[in-house]
Structure 1
């Protein structure tokens, strides 16, 4: 374990869990890297330093779907206004913020003119008054919403923590997929975003694509009456962020290469394709903004095969905060080792953390594949995949996912994964299972 931090800054601890022993000729090294951030001048959950999300170094944009479908039923737009007001109430004094109405275009309804307001008693009240202008009318072009948020954040270059909350009730039907991708490519690494789908007429894969690109969360709010509490919770979490743009830097020696890097807790998210080079044999993987929290990452490295008795440093894992001048502050560090042995018991023993999170990733894949098979009419494959998911959820103690699975399948034997598909499964239950399939449980260390 290693931790490096400045006085008054958050403390980052990096722990590495692995079985470093490999059989002769073996090349794959797996490790779970646990990163924990604590402190950072917080008191009662309120950041005290100016760079934290509670001070002038933070900016938030609330993007609310105002397409025509938000009028059906008419309680949906009313609940969206109430949720936005609840989120505004959670803003700390000094945070820059804006409210955007998203249709086939994007309009900033408060404060307007491409600016952000500064949260205080008066601006919160004026912003809530302006929510009357959130009226359903038009189509859905989410790429324009993302671009508008980027432009608004540009107006506050001093903000180091930039976060958006994006709500939609439908599919991205009024722009080409390439338009959305261009907007995401421009925004990735510049701000983070939590995405929410209300109702059941939106696409899980589409919204997850947006949240993954912007290193945020995705969830379903099946009934619009639940929006206010969800928005309040999201904003509270956003206000707890203290450090932005943190990267997981993986250095490997000559002859070794990274096979993949995945976040595995609290959600499964593949970061492999997000690598940016960071010097000789090193690459950075973005992790977004941090408050007081802990996350786990699965790092898999392929090393040159070696004879029994040899050992090597397979990877050096550093948590870094890149600076504009090209330098980077090291916040914490851990080492991944490889030792070749002819002791069968040592080389075949699975590390508990690695085994657990490999199962959690497999669980998410099984749910996704099972629901896709069900949509395509392949009931046998759907039953087999969701049965495998039930078995994995039971074995890992993931009671939350097991509960969601039980709303889609009748479980005959959870230990063996024997299930039958339920008749007349609601779209809300199916989408909730798909949306939350990447939620994981922490392994007991």
Structure 2
């Protein structure tokens, strides 16, 4: 039985940033909601005001057996080119295994056109301790390259293994170096639909022969992270960071619940930091006029969400609650009743004839509107470049340079500068580079959704 520890229970806070003033007849209310969790035992916590303690029913200490993780390693034939790639993958997986905390359930899967559990190999999960870690690393010596790539089968095996553990936090780490060529796209989509909400997954592409949209699709569907590791020699450092972050997750299945009044409708709900992720279509009903949006597992971290709600138009002087935002967990016994909120915030609407008040844009809303556009125009620019539309690519990537400059997104600006020659960042005047390294273009595409927060 898992032991619980109040000292490591995450505490949540919700802060709402908005301009609540609307001109007469206006219907659209925008707000940025900052959700912060601290006290989960990980590093990098952000101080928060008046935190709300998660209910005792969900408390679990970081040394308890409350998590399970499956590492999926691509062992297709392409992993032998160059031969050092497979060795780097084995070394990285060994480092990740060393990072698994005592008591955490884990397994390693070799992925080709089929999925094979190489450790522990009995259809179950092993419990992390010095002996099982050593045994798992010994099993890695059997990994060799050969066969095709069918990522959906890897994910379905990971799901079966993770389902065998009675733990709240289930996580996968997936490495691939090639395209998903040995199953149809709809098979991968079906696997992602089956696994969504059952476990989270970080996906990595190593080298430059994989498909960015496939890897980002996996991470998006399973509420994980996606990235490129262009140099296989850097896999060990990346796997260690990924596993350390996974080990820092202390509370699972957190939902952002949005209640709106009669006559109001939700236009969209997007995560906008640390990455852009549209959650609008993932809504599930949560009672009258309320819906839940999944956010996955949390450790010590802070995320920002952009909400847009359309309310009934009103006359000057009217005021209404446009939305109530709550952080909720499912009932432990699954009885379907409404869980107590971990924290909540209010989004308001006030109609005014003060032009200055109603036309002023909240800095947070303005910033993240720009960051969402930045992610979009980068993707559009890369797609245009790939299709040979030089004029369209130049216009979109020029706009991206301009947005990155205005928002202070220096990391994205540096990535853009490897794809275009920047003539004037302020106006977005650029020229496409005649030759672009494939790794540079893939890095820009993979990391296009990474955002920077509003500078305080």
* Counterpart in the other structure of 2:444: 433
SS at structure 2 position matched to 1:150: helix
Deviation of 1:55 after TM superposition, in Å, equals 2.4
Deviation of 1:325 after TM superposition, in Å, equals 1.8
* Counterpart in the other structure of 1:32: 32
* Counterpart in the other structure of 1:393: 404
**Which runs of structure 2 are paired with 1:125-140 in the superposition (5 Å)?**
125-140=134-149
* Counterpart in the other structure of 1:306: 314
SS at structure 2 position matched to 1:317: strand
* Counterpart in the other structure of 1:144: 153
**Is contact 2:88-2:233 (8 Å) kept?**
yes
Unaligned residue ranges in structure 1 (runs of 5+): 1-5
Over residues 330-357 of structure 1, what are the superposed CA-to-partner deviations in whole Å (9 max), with x where a residue is unaligned? 1010000000111110110000000000
Deviation of 1:184 after TM superposition, in Å, equals 0.8
* Counterpart in the other structure of 1:325: 335
In structure 2, C-alpha distance between the alignment counterparts of 1:249 and 1:352, rounded to whole Å:
24
**Is contact 1:52-1:243 (8 Å) kept?**
no
- The structure-2 alpha-carbon separation of the partners of 1:9 and 1:170, relative to structure 1 and needing over 3 Å to count, comes to same
Pick from 156, 171, 179: which aligns with 1:163?
Answer: 171
In structure 1, C-alpha distance between the alignment counterparts of 2:155 and 2:62, rounded to whole Å:
21
* Counterpart in the other structure of 1:407: 418
**Which runs of structure 2 are paired with 1:255-404 in the superposition (5 Å)?**
255-323=263-331, 324-327=334-337, 328-404=339-415
**Which runs of structure 2 are paired with 1:59-208 in the superposition (5 Å)?**
59-156=68-165, 158-208=166-216
**Farther-moved stretch of structure 1 (279-288 vs 54-63):** 54-63
Over residues 304-343 of structure 1, what are the superposed CA-to-partner deviations in whole Å (9 max), with x where a residue is unaligned? 0001110100000000011222132310100000001111
- The structure-2 alpha-carbon separation of the partners of 1:357 and 1:45, relative to structure 1 and needing over 3 Å to count, comes to closer
**Is contact 1:192-1:215 (8 Å) kept?**
yes
SS at structure 1 position matched to 2:366: helix
In structure 2, C-alpha distance between the alignment counterparts of 1:51 and 1:58, rounded to whole Å:
10
Within the alignment, does 1:21 sit opposite 2:29 as a pair?
Answer: no
**Is contact 2:202-2:219 (8 Å) kept?**
yes
Deviation of 1:9 after TM superposition, in Å, equals 2.4
TM-score, with normalisation over the residues of structure 2? 0.94
Deviation of 1:424 after TM superposition, in Å, equals 1.1
Unaligned residue ranges in structure 2 (runs of 5+): 1-5, 46-57
Deviation of 1:52 after TM superposition, in Å, equals 4.8
Over residues 85-113 of structure 1, what are the superposed CA-to-partner deviations in whole Å (9 max), with x where a residue is unaligned? 01001011000000000011100000002
Deviation of 1:176 after TM superposition, in Å, equals 1.2
* Counterpart in the other structure of 2:454: 443
**Is contact 2:90-2:143 (8 Å) kept?**
yes
TM-score, with normalisation over the residues of structure 1? 0.96
Over residues 223-262 of structure 1, what are the superposed CA-to-partner deviations in whole Å (9 max), with x where a residue is unaligned? 1001000000000101111000000000000000101000
SS at structure 2 position matched to 1:25: coil
RMSD, aligned CA: 1.5
Within the alignment, does 1:226 sit opposite 2:229 as a pair?
Answer: no
**Is contact 1:58-1:96 (8 Å) kept?**
yes
Deviation of 1:8 after TM superposition, in Å, equals 5.6
In structure 1, C-alpha distance between the alignment counterparts of 2:228 and 2:425, rounded to whole Å:
26
In structure 2, C-alpha distance between the alignment counterparts of 1:227 and 1:8, rounded to whole Å:
30
**Farther-moved stretch of structure 1 (94-103 vs 178-187):** 178-187
**Is contact 2:152-2:187 (8 Å) kept?**
yes
**Is contact 2:9-2:59 (8 Å) kept?**
no
**Is contact 1:50-1:57 (8 Å) kept?**
no
